[in-house]
Amino acid sequence: MSAEQRENLDAILRQSAFPADSDVNEQRRQLRKLLSAQPLPADVTVTAAALSGVPTAEITVNGIDPRHVVLYFHGGVYVLGDAFLAADLASQIGRRTRAKVISVDYRLAPEHPYPAAVDDALAAYEALLRNGTAPSDIAFAGESAGGGLAIATLVNARDHGLPLPAAAFVMSPYVDLTLAGATMDTKREADPLLSPQALQARVADYTSGQDATLGLISPIFADLSGLPPLIIQAGTNEVLLDDALRLAREAATADVEVTLDITPRVPHVFQAYHAILDEAAAALDRAGQLLSAHLASAERVTA
């Protein structure tokens, strides 16, 4: 793996990091400009759709006859991004698991604070089940806040008595909106993209006066028992590293099967840079193999 690739990416991200004091609309504009400049692979098709009234982006890869569905939750600290901007990274997971990806365009804060995102995520999953997709043919995936939302949706689905998907894959999950992780401080200088100040500026947008320790806001504080296998990936150059480490520990303590995959000296959601970072493509390969294995195993159990 190339130290030069990591250094180049670090420099790019430090130049494009959003100022913590910029407003939400400006951050949304900058993110859209940044992600829209990256063309999708020619063999990827993105189609607008909906699940139970929740807008979605259906992402397919030409030549792959999808056997499974990945329900995908995009990142953006619950205030930025959308289902379509996440299509490149989501398609990489679909490619590796031979699955159709349905990216959920959940409502964003501050216009729609908690529990809007949680409600939309659960409604989309319920609709997928209602439409006839077997839970054993579904995996969840998400990055950053979307990773946190994936875990919260597992907890919410369990508490509503719904059958759970085969597995979940979360990248740099944002699971503690109290920002209590030790690496908020120890990785502050190493992280080229996020800072405690930038995260703190957006917490109130989403929580809107609710207690940030609620399990569906910060699933690090939820009861994780009974969840399906989790694949958790993070890099060591990110302030959210401790969120991934603590999530893995809490899940393991609750007797959940966990694969914790930490890549040194790479940033937050490094998998998004698969085109220019060898570690990113390799991490996606590992996750794809594990997700495929969990989906195949769940199929055998339910057959």
Instruction: Assess whether the previous peptide bond of 115 is cis (omega < 30° from 0).
Output: yes
Reference 96, options 295, 284, 298, 293; nearest CA is 284
Whole-number Å distance between alpha carbons of 101 and 153:
17
What count of other Cβ atoms lies within 10 Å of the Cβ of residue 26?
12
Catalytic residue among 68, 74, 103, 268: 268
The residue from 136, 144, 218, 292 that is catalytic is 144
| 40 to 232, 273, 291: CA distances (angstroms) | 25, 13, 23
Region class of 73: left (phi > 0), else alpha (psi between -120 and 50), else beta: beta
Please tell me the distance from the alpha carbon of residue 98 to that of residue 224, in angstroms, as a whole number.
28
Active site residue 189: no
Is 238 among the catalytic positions?
Answer: yes
Report the distance separating Cα 272 and Cα 43, nearest Å.
18
Q: Is 158 helix (H, G, I), strand (E, B) or coil?
A: helix
Given the residues 143, 238, 250, 279, the one annotated as active site: 238
Q: 287: closest CA among 96, 132, 123, 133?
A: 96
Q: Is residue 231 classed as helix, strand or coil in its secondary structure?
A: strand
DSSP class of residue 211 equals -
Q: Is 297 a catalytic residue?
A: no
Residues that are catalytic: 144, 238, 268
